[in-house]
């Protein structure tokens, strides 16, 4: 009963401006074996529930595995509470909660960033949540800030006007996704009389009309202590923390009952739940068909479900795992393995009010959506007519139970679990009853759930049929030089001004003495890093093989990816389905994906299943057979993915940007084309595999609950026969000069609502001595869309973008320095001009001492939060080893940041900020380059 990703909308603070996924498979293939119930005590043990006099529910859980704490505030309000004409007001208010308070009239993102908090927020159907994770000494500061904005947020004309533009930019960005547009049409048809049928983010038409009084009234009604749950997890002492909670939140008054003209938890759905009842007879609806510009053909089917507390919910979720949980699932086998679809996923939305079950599929090239719908229906009928096998049932339960353990390895996720259950189910202990019920689900209950809820008469199905299925991105134009540059940015935010609004930390935290991994090399050359962590019964595996796309060349672009994607398709002793079941029966997961400089290996499982994970890894690395039929299926999926990428302003823009920086003969220039993918043969895959998949180019990092002595013996045993001959291939990557002048490129993709712009040039490598100074510089410039100079100017002051970020893609070789933003097409020019002016300002005036020190503190204070998640630790250890850094880098990184001087910073600006040499690429719905530019 976790919130599915497709239910959330809000700030997603990462370098890539991610579209919210429209469907998420609940069982993310991560999970134990014999299906005894997972003890839910690990989730709820030690939780203390306190209700303050003003009605605020407080959940505290001490977890002393890392020196960090997570603070989350969950409000029981979401799009469910919206009435006609105000769709999106919950989401709009979420944005305004970052704009400051009466006592602290500053962007709260800057305050959180200065504390080193990893923070975020989201709005969903039933809830709006705000969360931050920090070093333990910042707990009181976070509580003070959250209490302040619960009662004193600034909801005024200035804040609303600028943040409306930001929200509309966000909504228009989602419009770029055909899947989003299809989902919106299907949900409106499925729930015509209910708030759940509306988009969580709202509509542009409604957002434009919001008034200050309307939003303020909504805030006064729902952001009240008795309508909220405060969750604190991590390394703290309960009694002193509760004392601070009472001093900060305890003084807030209840507001929801004070005549605001709106009943608390009012919902437009409350009087019209008939369309949610599975037993209500309804004539079968005709499919919804969207014929619009796009790439791949899409299908979405939705079926009404009961609410989260209904006794059928465990059986429904087991049913979902059987249908869509991993490669061995029924719908994957029926649709993807048959070649009809390139992907299929599903998920149950069980909410405060009756929800829905959703199935999504992307058609393979040349396949008809009608045929996919037919096979889908046949699979559902079979589930209704025949009981599932004991093997399927056990696999589904195992996957689900283990996914809860693997999904709660960090304290942020544990707080999330508690907040979700308390807010949506009304009881943080709901997870205990739920997991106990999962363990008892029978084949008959699954069959009955399928009969009851997968009723064709209750189905709402939609087809997206692209009108540009060849994936060609339309017209392009190029210009160099003159962007309008009469723009003058405001002064950078003064951190000294910020400091007066920042609550103090309680005391200095001793820097966490992160344990160092043990490092050794097997006789055949495999490099291994082991870090034992006995706090949780889990294993996190990260690996890299030097077989990345840099070895492709233009003629065979896509070869590295196809090779990696076919590793799990069969070995000398196991076919694809057997390999999948070997892992999925235990709830474990192993995947491979090619990036520019290597093939990434990712694995997770419960510690009892470490041998199976390692044995499977060794088997596919040594004995992959690349069956011809599976190669054809994966080729079709790659062709579909290529169409989707070329139809996405982000994907196409990044490719055009990269190819403008790196010349045609450079390894970083190559990107797959339909022609190159179609030309790749099985012999090409075998040759690439035999040449590049070698023990002496493989690095494996393991973090988790294991005995290092036993793991060493296991690794020597399973990898012992894997030998390489000769020397590994070496690729010399030439350095790339900066462009001589400013270069503008524009690509038009029909049917899009927002433009995406990339700005930059070739940057530095990870081992460049200027790297740490570059990180501090980037933190100031655009490391965070709410607290950086770019975010302050382009997002906050002007409201031109939902997100703007900068970053150095520093690998073994120099990757690009880039700035990325999403804007309305008409705003792209102004946003680019603002960005160029900020770069010139940075170049000419440098940074202030206060800015510099704040940025360093922000990076070093945030670092322990990264180390609090075992999955992150395995990735950090691996990356450090692959990049040739010292084993102690994981400990010494904060000191290296602190050692950066103002002289280093000035040198980095001089060397790395070149406003006259930029490549600027904009992709989107129309011309954004000025005529004659």
Question: Over the stretch 465-520, which tens digit does the pLDDT of each residue have?
Answer: 998 744 444 455 443 333 333 456 667 767 777 888 988 887 655 555 789 999 99
The residue among 792, 924, 753, 877 whose CA lies nearest residue 201 is: 753
Q: What is the pLDDT of residue 509?
A: 53
Give pLDDT, residue 673.
Answer: 96
Answer yes or no: is pLDDT of 134 > 70. yes
Read off the pLDDT of each residue in 798-802 and give the average, rounded to a whole number: 92
Taking residues 73-93, report their average pLDDT: 96
Q: Does pLDDT of 118 surpass 90? A: yes
Return the pLDDT at 766: 97
Task: Work out the mean pLDDT of the chain and round it to a whole number.
Answer: 89
Give dist(CA 328, CA 682) in Å, integer.
Answer: 24
0.95 exceeded by pTM: no
Q: Is the dihedral of CA 329, 319, 411, 582 positive or negative?
A: negative
Buried b (16+ CB within 10 A) or exposed e, 145-176: bbbbbbbebbbeeebbebbbbbbbbbbbbbbb
pLDDT exceeds cutoff 90 at 749: yes
Any idea how long the chain is?
933
Residue corresponding to tokens 């202990």 = 429
Backbone angles phi, psi at 59, to 5 degrees: -115, 125
**HEC-encoded secondary structure of 445-496:** HHHHHHHHHCCHHHCEEEEEEECCCCCCCCCEEEEECCCCCCCCCCCCCCHH
Statement: residue 5 has pLDDT above 60: no
Alpha carbon distance 297, 464 (integer Å): 5
Q: Give residue 775's pLDDT band: very low, low, confident or very high (50, 70, 90).
A: very high
Q: Is the pLDDT of residue 713 over 80?
A: yes
- The percent of residues in the chain predicted with pLDDT above 90, rounded, is 84
pLDDT of residue 375: 98
Picking from 768, 697, 700, the residue whose alpha carbon sits closest to that of residue 731 is 697
Average pLDDT of the segment spanning 9-20: 29
* Banded model confidence at residue 932, pLDDT cuts 50, 70, 90: very low
**HSE-up (13 A, CA, CB side) for residue 375:** 22
- CB count, 10 Å around CB of 373? 17
Q: What is the mean pLDDT of residues 209-222?
A: 97
Tens of pLDDT, residues 22-71: 222 222 222 223 445 455 457 899 999 999 999 999 999 999 999 999 99
Q: Which residues contact 802 (CB under 8 A, 6 or more apart)?
A: 17, 166, 167, 169, 170, 173, 795, 822
| R_g of the chain computed on alpha carbons | 27
How would residue 17 be classed by pLDDT, with cut points 50, 70 and 90? very low
For residues 777-795, give the mean pLDDT.
93
Tell me the β-bridge partners of 462: 288, 300
Ranges 142-151, 734-743, 899-908: which has the least confidence: 734-743
pLDDT band for position 281 (cuts 50, 70, 90)? very low
Give residue 497's pLDDT. Answer: 77
Residue-wise pLDDT tens digits, 97-111: 999 999 999 999 999
Q: What is the pLDDT of residues 588-642, one digit of tens each?
A: 999 999 999 999 999 999 999 999 999 999 999 999 999 999 999 999 999 999 9
- Alpha carbon distance 392, 406 (integer Å): 21
Query: Assign residue 271 a region: left if phi > 0, alpha if psi is -120 to 50, beta otherwise?
Result: alpha
pLDDT at 385: 97
2 falls in which pLDDT band (50, 70, 90)? very low
**Do 600 and 811 contact (CB within 8 A), yes or no?**
no
Name the pLDDT band for 267 (thresholds 50, 70, 90): very low
| pLDDT for 298 | 98
pLDDT class of 442 with cuts at 50, 70, 90: very high
Distance of CA 797 to the CA centre of its chain: 27
pLDDT of residue 272: 35
pLDDT for the residue 278:
44
Contact between 248 and 52 (Cβ < 8 Å):
no
* Model pLDDT, residue 23: 28
**Alpha helices in 135-203, H assignment, sequence order:** 139-152, 157-175, 178-190
| pLDDT class of 928 with cuts at 50, 70, 90 | low
Contact 340, 372 (CB under 8 A): yes
At CB < 8 A and 24+ separation, what contacts does 111-114 make? 111/145, 111/498, 111/501, 111/502, 112/142, 112/145, 112/786, 112/787, 113/784, 113/786, 113/787, 113/858, 114/495, 114/498, 114/499, 114/502, 114/787, 114/854, 114/857, 114/858
**Tens digit of each residue's pLDDT (9 = 90 or more) over 834-856:** 999 999 999 999 999 999 999 99
What average pLDDT score do residues 396-410 get? 95
Is 799's pLDDT higher than 70? Answer: yes
């Amino acid at each position: 009963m976790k919130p599915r990703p497709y239910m959330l909308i809000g700030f997603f603070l990462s370098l890539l401006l991610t579209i919210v996924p429209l469907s998420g498979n609940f069982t993310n293939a991560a999970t134990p074996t014999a299906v005894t119930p997972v003890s839910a005590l690990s989730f709820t043990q030690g939780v203390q529930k306190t209700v303050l006099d003003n009605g605020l529910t407080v959940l505290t859980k001490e977890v002393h595995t890392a020196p960090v704490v997570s603070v989350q505030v969950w409000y029981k309000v979401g799009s469910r509470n919206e009435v006609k004409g105000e769709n999106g007001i919950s989401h709009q208010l979420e944005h305004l909660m970052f704009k400051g308070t009466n006592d602290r009239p500053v962007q709260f993102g800057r305050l959180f960033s200065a504390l080193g908090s990893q923070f975020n927020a989201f709005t969903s159907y039933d809830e709006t949540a705000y969360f931050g994770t920090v070093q333990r000494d910042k707990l009181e500061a976070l509580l003070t800030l959250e209490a302040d904005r619960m009662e004193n947020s600034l909801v005024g004309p200035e804040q609303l006007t600028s943040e409306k533009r930001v929200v509309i930019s966000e909504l228009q960005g989602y419009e770029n996704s055909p899947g989003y547009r299809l989902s919106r049409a299907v949900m409106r048809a499925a729930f015509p009389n209910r708030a759940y049928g509306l988009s969580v983010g709202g509509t542009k038409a409604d957002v434009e009309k919001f008034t200050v009084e309307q939003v303020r009234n909504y805030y006064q009604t729902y952001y009240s202590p008795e309508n909220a749950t405060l969750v604190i997890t991590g390394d703290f002492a309960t009694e002193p923390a509760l004392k601070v909670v009472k001093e900060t939140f305890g003084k807030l008054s209840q507001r929801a009952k004070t005549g605001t003209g709106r009943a608390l938890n009012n919902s437009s759905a409350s009087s019209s739940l008939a369309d949610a009842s599975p037993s209500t007879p309804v004539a079968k609806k005709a499919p919804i068909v969207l014929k619009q510009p796009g790439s791949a053909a899409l299908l979405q089917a939705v079926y009404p479900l009961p609410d989260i507390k209904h006794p059928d919910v465990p059986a429904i979720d087991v049913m979902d795992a059987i249908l869509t949980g991993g490669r061995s699932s029924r719908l994957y086998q029926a649709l993807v393995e048959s070649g009809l679809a390139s992907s299929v996923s599903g998920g149950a939305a069980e909410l405060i009010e009756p929800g829905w079950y959703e199935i999504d599929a992307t058609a393979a090239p040349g396949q008809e959506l009608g045929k996919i719908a037919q096979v889908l229906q046949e699979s559902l009928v079979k589930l209704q007519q025949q009981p599932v096998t004991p093997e399927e049932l056990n696999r589904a339960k195992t996957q689900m139970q283990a996914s809860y353990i693997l999904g709660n390895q960090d304290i942020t996720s544990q707080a999330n679990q508690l907040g979700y259950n308390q807010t949506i189910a009304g009881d943080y202990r709901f997870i205990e009853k739920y997991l106990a019920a999962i363990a008892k689900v029978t084949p008959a209950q699954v069959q009955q759930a399928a009969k009851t809820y997968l009723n064709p008469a209750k189905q709402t199905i939609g087809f997206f049929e692209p009108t540009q299925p060849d994936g060609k991105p339309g017209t392009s134009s190029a210009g160099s030089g003159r962007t309008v540059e009469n723009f003058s940015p405001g002064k950078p935010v003064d951190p000294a001004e910020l400091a007066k609004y920042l609550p103090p930390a309680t005391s200095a935290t001793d820097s966490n003495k992160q344990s160092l991994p043990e490092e050794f090399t097997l006789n055949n050359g495999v490099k291994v890093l082991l870090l034992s962590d006995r706090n949780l019964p889990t294993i996190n595996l990260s690996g890299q093989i030097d077989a990345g796309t840099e070895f492709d060349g233009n003629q065979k672009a896509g070869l590295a990816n196809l090779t990696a994607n076919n590793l799990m398709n069969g070995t000398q002793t196991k076919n694809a389905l057997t390999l999948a079941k070997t892992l999925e029966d235990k709830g474990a997961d192993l995947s491979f994906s090619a990036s520019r400089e290597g093939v990434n290996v990712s694995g997770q499982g419960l510690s009892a299943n470490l041998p199976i994970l390692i044995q499977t890894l060794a088997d596919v690395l040594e004995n992959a057979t690349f069956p011809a039929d599976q190669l054809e299926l994966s080729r079709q999926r790659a062709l579909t993915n290529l169409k989707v990428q070329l139809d996405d302003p982000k994907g196409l823009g990044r490719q055009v940007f990269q190819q403008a920086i790196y010349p045609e003969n450079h390894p970083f220039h190559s990107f797959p084309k339909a022609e190159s993918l179609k030309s790749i043969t099985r012999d090409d895959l075998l040759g690439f595999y035999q040449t590049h998949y070698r023990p002496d180019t493989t690095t494996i990092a393991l973090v988790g609950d294991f005995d290092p002595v036993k793991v060493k013996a296991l690794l020597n045993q399973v990898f012992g026969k894997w030998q390489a001959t000769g020397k590994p291939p070496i690729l010399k990557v030439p350095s790339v000069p900066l462009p001589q002048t400013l270069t503008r490129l524009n690509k038009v993709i029909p049917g899009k609502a927002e433009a995406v712009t990339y700005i930059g040039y070739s940057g530095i490598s990870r081992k460049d001595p200027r790297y740490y100074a570059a990180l501090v510089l980037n933190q100031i410039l655009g490391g965070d869309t709410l607290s950086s100079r770019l975010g302050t100017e382009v997002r906050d002051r002007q409201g031109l973008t939902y997100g703007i970020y900068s970053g150095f893609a520093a690998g073994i070789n120099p990757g690009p320095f880039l700035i990325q933003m999403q804007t309305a097409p008409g705003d792209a020019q102004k946003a680019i001009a603002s960005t160029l002016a900020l770069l010139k300002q940075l170049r000419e005036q440098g940074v202030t001492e206060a800015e510099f020190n704040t940025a360093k503190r922000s990076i070093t204070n945030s670092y322990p939060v990264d180390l609090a998640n075992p999955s992150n630790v395995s990735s950090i250890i691996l990356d450090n080893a692959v990049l040739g850094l010292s084993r102690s880098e994981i400990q010494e990184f904060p000191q290296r940041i602190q050692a950066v001087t103002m002289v280093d910073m000035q040198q980095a600006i001089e060397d790395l900020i070149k406003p006259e040499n930029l490549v600027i690429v904009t992709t989107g719905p129309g011309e954004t380059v000025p005529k004659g530019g």
